[in-house]
Amino acid sequence: MRGILVLVEHRQGQLRPVSLEVLGAAVQAKEASGERLTAAVLGASPGTFTEALQLAGVDEIVTVQTASDAFDPDTYEAVARALIQDRAPSLVLLPHTIDTLGYAAPLAAKGNHGFTTDAFGLSRDGDAWLATRSGYGQKVNMEIEFPGRATVVVTLRPGSFKAPEAGGTAALTSFAAPPVTERSTHIEFEEPAASGDVDIPGADFILSVGRGIGEETHVEQFKELADAVGATLGCSRPIADSGWLPKAHQVGQSGKTAANCKVYIAMGISGSVQHMAGMKHVENIIAVNTDPEASIFTIAKYGIVGDIFEIGEELRNHF
Amino acid sequence: MKILVTIKQVASLDEDFELRDDGRDVEADFHVFDLNEWDHYALEEAMRLKEGAQDAGVEVVVATVGPDSADEELRKCLAKGADRAIRIWSDDLEGADPVGIARVLAALARKEAPDMIFAGVQASDHAYGATGMALAGLLDWPHAAVVAGLDYSPGSLCATARRELEGGAYATVKVQTPAVLTLQLGINTPRYASLRGIKQAATRPIETFSPADLGVPADETGAAGSLSRVRRVYVPEVGRAQMIDGTPAEQAARLASLIKEFRGEA
């Protein structure tokens, strides 16, 4: 009996919801392997998070007291390494998040653990773990194995697993943090830019534009189109990065989630994992794109293969 | 003063691609190559530091691990103004995962001894998001991932990095240098290569090494130095939108009626 270890994440006093999804994946892994499931939380006052981690299937919650609550890659790596040495788990599950990107690979590379990232599937083959992730811009799936590795570290794609039910009875233990020399210092958090009159999370109807609009001078006509049809104007990352629309319009992992959206029209957006993270849950997605192979058509309810300018112009005639 | 920029030749797939006979990859004939999108930003950041600190004499070195075809991507970087280009390859590297690649880059970094290493956050083909940070781990250098803003004077002992977080937030951190940073899209506006630059780059030398040249032991090269192995690649069953066909006018009319239905007007 080895073990499954999950390191959870929190930011500014809030447990990050994706950590609970990772625990959901871990509960499935526990059912497949019979191994014990340990959730570890580290921070200046890790005890504040233990209640939220009392979820069905979690056997143990380990608190690790560290100097600061703010994420530091050296600290997370050192604590993860010490826990792996102490528990020798067969599987370490982490969320595929910005913070984890900063320490998972160094942890695995230095420890020679099996390692892959952004997995959305996890399975068992005999007593070995297998992970499934996508390749070539989501055109294929890759099944990943870890021959000869006693411990496997896998980061999991947000939105791929369900959080476990509440009502666990995990044992609470504490673990002494190893000494760490931090080589970076957290200075400050910056809140998301003020959204002005744009409310992506609150909007029920969003018309979003992507790289397909081509040039900045084309933004205006889609603004008018969104107004005409009564939609909030959203955009994908390249449009915000170029400064063509304020960041408050951006839908996706590093932008906003279209939390209350019922209808989402994606125009000239190919559908990266990061964009989909902010809108794939929307019930009615309509994609307009010249590329019939664009990923966005795999999650859209309706698809139009066509020129967004032509469709946009024709659409205006109806409003 | 030297900045090492690690780049990748990424592959996208031709329509109607086929899988290799062993089922572990796509048949190479169907690969369409390009320079990883993130690498344009990583190189640009290095070029900006070079141009901003003329007295300090910053040398920008681009390096990749890949077969002959990757020379094309290195030349794109030379055309944009990189000082030197290095390519590392041997057939043993076929099947290396991101950590297998990072071991080779770490050996190169020990040889080149740069003051700073920039890599992209991830590659647009397989999106592991792992190589740059694995490199930091193997070198045991300070590091920060997903940097969307950088305040650094070449030669100084620390850099201030603005890390992009989820949901439109940022975290600013001070990082000791030399450091490995993975740079995010949008950190700058990458330049285009000039025609003159492209012409000159065509004749510039590309330094080539094998992992053995760099002292990477055979048992750490390629698959042997990797932490994962692709067991099989397959085309997933994916959802497919209900397609609205017809002329643009007909398509737009249907779209309009869907919108009106949603708004309760139809």
pLDDT in tens, A237-273: 999 999 999 999 999 999 999 999 999 999 999 999 9
State whether A133 and A20 are in the same domain: yes
pLDDT single digits (tens) A161-204: 999 999 999 999 999 999 999 899 999 999 887 777 899 999 99
Say what the pLDDT of residue B266 is.
61
Please report, for residues A222, A224, A227, A271, B205, the alpha-carbon distance to residue A233 in angstroms, rounded to integers and kept in the order given: 8, 9, 8, 17, 48
Strand partners, A43: A65
Compute the C-alpha angle B167/B168/B170, nearest 5°: 110
Residue from B259, B261, B263, B265 whose CB has the most chain A CBs within 10 Å, to mutate: B259
How many beta-carbon pairs below 8 A join chains A and B? Answer: 266
State whether A205 and A135 are in the same domain: no
Say what the pLDDT of residue A193 is.
76
Q: What is the arrangement of strands in the sheet containing A60-65, beginning at the earlier edge strand?
A: A114-119, A152-156, A91-95, A4-7, A37-43, A60-65, A171-175
What is the C-alpha to C-alpha distance for residues A117 and A94, in angstroms, rounded to an integer?
9
From chain B, the residues in CB contact with A242 under 8 A are 189
ipTM, two decimals: 0.96
Structure tokens at B209: 């090494």
- Facing residue for A184 by CB, picked from B17, B174, B185: B174
Distance from CA of B140 to the nearest CA of A (A): 8
State whether A114 and A149 are in the same domain: yes
Q: Do A106 and B137 touch (CB under 8 A)?
A: yes
State whether A124 and A216 are in the same domain: no
Other beta carbons within 10 Å of B253: 17
- The answer to whether the CB of A144 falls within 8 A of the CB of B240 is no
Residue from B30, B128, B160, B250 whose CB has the most chain A CBs within 10 Å, to mutate: B128
Say what the pLDDT of residue B56 is.
73
Please report, for residues A127, B7, B17, the alpha-carbon distance to residue B61 in angstroms, rounded to integers and kept in the order given: 45, 10, 35
A295 labelled ligand-binding: no
- Facing residue for B175 by CB, picked from A96, A134, A183: A183
From chain B, the residues in CB contact with A298 under 8 A are 238-241
Q: Is A138 helix (H, G, I), strand (E, B) or coil?
A: coil
State whether A219 and A260 are in the same domain: yes
Say what the pLDDT of residue A79 is.
98
Q: How many domains does chain A have?
A: 2
Q: What sign for the dihedral angle of Cα A250, A254, A260, A261? A: positive
Which phi and psi angles does B50 have, rounded to 5°? -60, -45
Burial A112-146 (b: 16+ CB within 10 A, else e): ebbbbbbbbbbebeeeebbbbbbbbbbbbbbbbbb
Q: Do A140 and B233 touch (CB under 8 A)?
A: yes
pTM to 2 decimal places: 0.95
Name the pairing type of β-strands A91-95 and A60-65.
unpaired
DSSP label at B49? H
From chain A, the residues in CB contact with B260 under 8 A are 318
Return the residue of B nearest to A103 by Cα.
Answer: B133
Q: Is B208 helix (H, G, I), strand (E, B) or coil?
A: strand
Return the residue of A nearest to B181 by Cα.
Answer: A102
State whether A50 and A172 are in the same domain: yes
Q: Does domain B2-224 have CATH number 3.40.50.720?
A: no
Inside any domain, residue A183: no
Inside any domain, residue A181: no
Exposure of A251 by Cβ count < 10 A (0-12 exposed, 13-18 middle, 19+ buried)? buried
DSSP B83-137: SEEEEE--GGGTT--HHHHHHHHHHHHHHH--SEEEEES--TTT----HHHHHHH
Q: Do B145 and A184 touch (CB under 8 A)?
A: no
A271 labelled ligand-binding: yes
Return the residue of B nearest to A246 by Cα.
Answer: B168
What CATH number is attached to the domain comprising A33?
3.40.50.620
Return the residue of A nearest to B232 by Cα.
Answer: A143
Return the residue of B nearest to A145 by Cα.
Answer: B229
Return the residue of A nearest to B252 by Cα.
Answer: A315
Question: Domain residue spans in chain B?
Answer: 2-224
From chain A, the residues in CB contact with B189 under 8 A are 242
Domain span including residue A19: 3-176
Say what the pLDDT of residue A197 is.
80
Other beta carbons within 10 Å of B207: 12
Distance from CA of B1 to the nearest CA of A (A): 21
From chain A, the residues in CB contact with B27 under 8 A are none
Strand partners, B242: A302
What is the C-alpha to C-alpha distance for residues A124 and A122, in angstroms, rounded to an integer?
7
Please report, for residues A209, A217, A224, A286, B169, the alpha-carbon distance to residue A214 in angstroms, rounded to integers and kept in the order given: 10, 9, 17, 20, 27
Percentage of chain A lying above the pLDDT 90 cut = 96
Say what the pLDDT of residue B262 is.
87
State whether A171 and A205 are in the same domain: no
Q: Do B231 and A137 touch (CB under 8 A)?
A: no
Q: Is B190 helix (H, G, I), strand (E, B) or coil?
A: coil
Inside any domain, residue A189: no
Closest CA to A245 of B146, B255, B186: B186
From chain B, the residues in CB contact with A250 under 8 A are 168
Mean pLDDT of A302-310: 97
Q: Do A140 and B234 touch (CB under 8 A)?
A: yes
From chain A, the residues in CB contact with B98 under 8 A are 105
Q: Do A144 and B126 touch (CB under 8 A)?
A: no
- The answer to whether the CB of B11 falls within 8 A of the CB of B125 is yes
pLDDT single digits (tens) A59-112: 999 999 999 999 999 999 999 999 999 999 999 999 999 999 999 999 999 999
Strand partners, A184: B175
Q: Is B149 helix (H, G, I), strand (E, B) or coil?
A: strand
Which amino acid is located at B80 in the chain?
Answer: K
Percentage of chain A lying above the pLDDT 70 cut = 100
Residue from B40, B44, B104, B133 whose CB has the most chain A CBs within 10 Å, to mutate: B133
A275 labelled ligand-binding: yes
Return the residue of B nearest to A74 by Cα.
Answer: B142
What CATH number is attached to the domain comprising A287?
3.40.50.1220
Q: Do A304 and B253 touch (CB under 8 A)?
A: no
Tens-level pLDDT at each residue, chain B (266 residues): 999 999 999 999 998 899 999 999 999 999 999 999 999 999 999 999 999 987 779 999 999 999 999 999 999 999 999 999 999 999 999 999 999 999 999 999 999 999 999 999 999 999 999 999 999 999 999 999 999 999 999 989 999 999 999 999 999 999 999 999 999 999 999 999 999 999 999 999 999 999 999 999 999 999 999 999 999 999 999 899 999 999 999 999 999 999 999 888 76
- Facing residue for A106 by CB, picked from B134, B227, B239: B134
**pLDDT over 70 at A1, yes or no:** no
From chain B, the residues in CB contact with A301 under 8 A are 241-242
Which amino acid is located at B153 in the chain?
Answer: S
State whether A159 and A236 are in the same domain: no
What is the C-alpha to C-alpha distance for residues A275 and A270, in angstroms, rounded to an integer?
9
Quick one: which H or E segment has residue A80? Answer: helix A73-87
Q: What sign for the dihedral angle of Cα A213, A215, A219, A221? A: negative
Q: Given A141, A176, A211, which residue is the final one in a domain?
A: A176
Inside any domain, residue A185: no
Say what the pLDDT of residue A143 is.
98
State whether A11 and A131 are in the same domain: yes
State whether A161 and A223 are in the same domain: no
Peptide bond into B178 cis (omega under 30): yes
Name the pairing type of β-strands B170-176 and B180-183.
unpaired
- Facing residue for A190 by CB, picked from B19, B169, B263: B169
DSSP A88-134: --SEEEEE-SHHHHTTHHHHHHHHT-EEEEEESEEEEETTEEEEEEE
Q: Spell out the residues 6+ positions from residue A23 whose beta carbon is closer than 8 angstroms to its own.
A: A6, A8, A37, A39, A53, A55, A57, A58, A163, A164
